[in-house]
Amino acid sequence: MPAEPESVLRKASTEDHPALTAWQIILWWEKRRLLYNALLCVIGAASLGIFLFLMDKALPPAEDNIEPFLGVVAYAFMANVCYTLGWFIELASRNVDAFAARRRARWMFRAGLIFFCLLTTAPAWFALVFYLLHPNHSG
């Protein structure tokens, strides 16, 4: 007798999203943290370079550019706090439905990565708008 479609789907779902231990969940997230930080670092460096270049062109020579070091450190710290919340949320929600928590974790990783990559470009966009709105360029 052939298996019922629902049981086949449940089995495939179970195989695709195995219930992981707490340490396996943390390891899954932490193995991806290097990629997360590397992408944010590359995008952040480009964004900061664009920011400094455009602000140098837009501000008169007597005015100093904003020193962004403290902001960069604070941003990197908060981006990693938010990243860590991913596995905290997965661990907390797996008690309700471990398989849904695993699917949600994969979605949170992708969505968080995309969101923070876009947010990391904000200094470049800010500088571009500032540059375009201040026609007395010094360069």
Place of tokens 């501000």: 59
Q: Give the structural domain span for 37.
A: 24-133
Please give the tally of structural domains in the chain: 1
Is 13 among the domain residues? no
Predicted local distance difference test score (pLDDT) of residue 115:
96
Is 51 among the domain residues? yes
Q: What is the per-residue pLDDT across 79-122, written as a single tens digit (0 to 9) for each?
A: 999 999 999 999 999 989 889 999 999 999 999 999 999 999 99
Predicted local distance difference test score (pLDDT) of residue 11:
45
Burial class (CB in 10 A: 0-12, 13-18, 19+), 51: buried
Is 4 among the domain residues? no
Is 74 among the domain residues? yes
Weakest mean pLDDT among 9-18, 41-50, 78-87: 9-18
Is 46 among the domain residues? yes
